[in-house]
Amino acid sequence: MSAMPPTDSFASRLLQWFDVSGRHDLPWQHPRTPYRVWLSEIMLQQTQVRVVIPYFERFTGALPDVPALAAASLDEVLALWSGLGYYARARNLHAAAKLCVEWHRGDLPRDFDALVALPGIGHSTAGAILAQAWGERFAILDGNVKRVLCRVHGVEGWPGSPQVEKQLWKIAREHVDDVPAGRLADYTQAQMDFGATLCTRHDPACVLCVLQDDCVALQTGRVEALPTPKPAKPLPERQALALLLRDADGRVLLQRRPPTGIWAALWSLPEHPDHDAARAWFGSHVGDGYDDSEALDVIAHGFTHYRLTLQPLAWRGVTLKAAVRDGDDQRWIDASDLSALGIPAPIRTLLEQQLA
């Protein structure tokens, strides 16, 4: 680490830009506690700031610290997360909070290896927590940072490949060595802000860039080409049927999803891959009347690894052969109770429309 940080380094220019144009009023910055930084970092994975802010404020309002998160039920956590997507983040967050209570007396550990040992915290997230919450000298390498470093340094190859990522980590650590003491939190935020608001994926504002004189991509006309895109693969298509059953009181039957896989542990409609499977389930749980369903509008939803086309089928006045009991992975739900459960966003939208 340099005793006297260079005054015209990558880090110093980024900090100068941040002081004028960075984001200084984000809710997790005031107050900037380890828990709030951690929660924001997890929420910001795969999700934009403007989307995260209302979820962050609602989540911290209900669960303000690690012990409160650890003591909450998974259903409560998933309900607060519902609509934010990538639900494994919420399950990992909940599991990590429980381990913090068990291993670290209810605090987030101030140690890199201990942080990485917690579910859902990788090297970049651990570095971001240590730098922002405690001012420790750690580099980060999220998607925004990768894009900026690939362009400025002319790094070829898909940034997700191990070889390219190793190269980017080396560059990121060299830059963090130049950050003045006391400004690690600002520098970490500056990198994320710079990639999110100026050096964007499409139409970056190169004319305003404080790094333009040293940007290899700009000097060689490769701004749009870098970073190198991930090799494209066509997304597979999957189709399924969602069964929307309402009883005589207008309540809808929900079923908890399996603990692993897409929408794991969330409450959703009973789902089946085809009419044969759906008819068999309906017959065993309800009896006759499968063909009396009403076909609702098809739901198209994209996941990271495939596209799902979901055909909802609806019935009214249904009576189950066996009563639903407390503790079952099925329950009858009133419209007024939907907000208390973690429900996949497209299913929640469907239910709100049907139960309005």
Tell me which residues are annotated as active site: 41
> Residue 67, preceding bond cis, omega within 30 degrees?
no
Contact 308, 240 (CB under 8 A): yes
Q: How far is CA 266 from the centre of its chain?
A: 15
Q: Which two tokens stand for residue 151?
A: 């362009």
| Helix residue ranges per DSSP H, the chain | 10-21, 34-43, 49-62, 66-71, 74-81, 88-104, 112-116, 123-134, 143-153, 162-176, 184-197, 216-219, 275-285, 345-354
Q: Which two tokens stand for residue 105?
A: 């007396």
Give the whole-angstrom CA distance, residue 350 versus residue 356: 10
| 294, amino acid identity | E
